[in-house]
Structure 1
Amino acid sequence: MLTEIHPKLPMRNKSVTKAFYFDLGFKNYGNADYDGYLMLYKDKVQIHFFEFKNLDINENYGQIYIRTDAIEILYQSFLKKNIKIHPNGPLEIKPWGQKEFSIVDPDNNLLTFGESITNQIFE
């Protein structure tokens, strides 16, 4: 049975990636410090990163969708920290019943945050 998912995204520079995600409130997962690999977590979300020094950010289409139960608070906390909201991803209600916004990390990985505005499950 499936129990969890931990997406793996490319990163060019471990210290830059770490600093960006720490600003979002993420922390190191565990005590291990692997060369070329990074594991971070916040609340119940864990994201892994693998080193890809020659990544062309114009050709990186890494994306993850992170569900939240406090979208307004999260959005406001990012604004207060001057975290740039994606120009095509402001906080808004989508036709599929989610309130969402998006940001892009230093390696052009798209992070979309969403909260259900209905109790309906879409399949």
Structure 2
Amino acid sequence: MLHAIHPKLPMRNKTVTKQYYIDQLGFNELGTVAYDDYLMISKDAIEIHFFKFEALKPKENYGQVYIRTTNITKLYQTFLNKKISIHPNGSLNLKPWGLKEFSILDPDHNLITFGEQLLKNSL
């Protein structure tokens, strides 16, 4: 019965969040009504929602999303070419659990991790 999930993450400033996700990461804004305290974005089959939390202390934010992808090496290189900061401990790596992953931190320190399932014979 379940068929989709749309995580909700905190944001301090809607303009900054939109600029990061839309202008840098290539997401699109969803919806026909603009709310000051809420933002919905999408890219391919991914949808993420944001709620305004002005008092958020980024270094204390533990918001996280894990996004499955294909062609992760190309996505990673695209982010590098756009000078998108990769998490200091999140460069593209093959993990022991059979996924290739990398991570970024958005302006509010939400951790966004991208992962691609590798074929068993490519481990």
Q: TM-score range by the shorter chain?
A: over 0.9
The answer for the alignment partner of 1:16 in structure 2 is: 16
Would the aligned equivalents of 2:9 and 2:51 in 1 still touch at CA under 8 Å? yes
Aligned pairs (5 A) from 1:1-123 = 1-22=1-22, 23-118=24-119
Q: 1:27-76 CA deviation, whole Å, 9 max, x = no partner?
A: 10122211200000000000000000000111100000000011011101
Identity of aligned residues (%): 62
TM-score using structure 1 length: 0.94
Residues in 1 aligned to 2:95 and 2:28: alpha-carbon distance in whole angstroms: 30
Residues in 2 aligned to 1:20 and 1:119: alpha-carbon distance in whole angstroms: 35
Whichever residue aligns with residue 56 of structure 1, its letter is K
Structure 1 unaligned segments of length 5 or more: list them.
none
- Aligned-pair Cα RMSD in Å: 1.2
Structure 2 unaligned segments of length 5 or more: list them.
none
Residues in 2 aligned to 1:93 and 1:31: alpha-carbon distance in whole angstroms: 40
